[in-house]
Amino acid sequence: MTTSLSTPHLIIGCGYLGQRVAALWHQAGHTVQALTRSEPRAEEFRRQGWQPILGDLTQPGSLPRFAEIDTLLLAVGLDRRAGHSQREVYVRGLANLIDACDHPPRRIISVSSTSVYGQEQGEWVDEDSVTEPQAENGQVCLEAERLLHERWPHAQIVRSAGIYGPGRLIARVEQLRNGAPLAGRPDAWLNLIHVDDLATAVLAVVDRAPPGSTWLAVDNRPLTRQEFYLALTRRVGAPDPRFLEGDSAVAGGLNKRCSNRRLREELSWRLRYPTIEEGLPPLLEGGIAGRPERAPGGA
């Protein structure tokens, strides 16, 4: 699909994922704008060649009027340091943004979360599966999805699995190295995606997906927590993972297993890191750093 290079591509939530999409759009010659609350962050964006816009989704009076937007990416995460609830940011913040736009953007893509699925017995889920989340984070993400489609029906949704990548490895490395037991079920399923693959999934949806569609972005193979931590310990020289025994070991459900078949087959999306087996080694070459990263609302 051909898009205008002069009408801006706007990113709301230009963080871990958003900055990667911004770089790809900028390399393609698009004008990239990014909303931020921070002047230092705005200066970082300027150095990248992007146009910063100062404003806060939770403060409608701080938002400018958006006259014309070619493509809008919503990749908002929850900054707990700001003191706002998830609903204030994801739902009320979205409503504030919609009200600040003079016209609907031509293309809209929102990064949501696989937490909108409430299945807990290891079932396979895809874009057509029932969404009945039991946890509040999933309920808020689903509420935001519905608000977006109510106000802008042509918006596209990408439900992301748990995000990992450089500096943000989902791991308890020191705990593993010390041999401390892990809480939770070892047989519960994890659904993951490398941040670089999520960025290309976003672009595939923007470029090739029909209006109003929903897509599930996850790598090719769900794995159990035991499989994940075993793969990690063997690469960092830690003892095999141990899990707490007793009631805490079986607390909670088995989670679900997410399928990316539609995204791969219908949009010809190809992953650089199809599974954690390809994704882990490059991250461990320089040592472990950073903090965990989750999809919006968790996954």
Q: What is the per-residue pLDDT across 204-231, written as a single tens digit (0 to 9) for each? A: 999 999 999 999 999 999 999 999 999 9
State the virtual CA torsion across 153, 69, 16, 1 in degrees, nearest 10: 70
The pLDDT assigned to 173 comes to 79
pTM over 0.75: yes
| Res 167: pLDDT | 82
Sign of CA dihedral 169, 174, 176, 177: positive
Q: Side-chain half-sphere of 90: how many Cα atoms within 13 Å? A: 27
Q: Could you give phi then psi for residue 192, rounded to 5 degrees?
A: -130, 160
Q: How many C-beta atoms lie closer than 10 Å to residue 262's C-beta?
A: 17
Distance in angstroms between the alpha carbons of the first and the last residue of the chain: 31
User: What is the structure's pLDDT at 293?
Assistant: 44
Position 290 scores a pLDDT of 41
Question: What type of residue is 106?
Answer: R
- The residue type of 7 is T
DSSP 8-state class, residue 129: S
> 91-113 as b/e, with b when 16 or more CB fall inside 10 Å?
bbbbebbbeebeeebebbbbbbb
3-state secondary structure of 168: strand
pLDDT at residue number 246:
64
Round the CA-based radius of gyration of the chain to a whole number and report it: 19
DSSP string, 26-85: HHTT--EEEEES-HHHHHHHHHHT-EEEE-BTTBGGGPPPB---SEEEE-----GGGT--
Low-confidence ranges of the chain (pLDDT < 50): 1-5, 288-298
Selection from 93, 294, 50, 60 nearest residue 195 by Cα: 294
Say what the pLDDT of residue 183 is. Answer: 87
Q: What is the pLDDT of residue 80?
A: 74
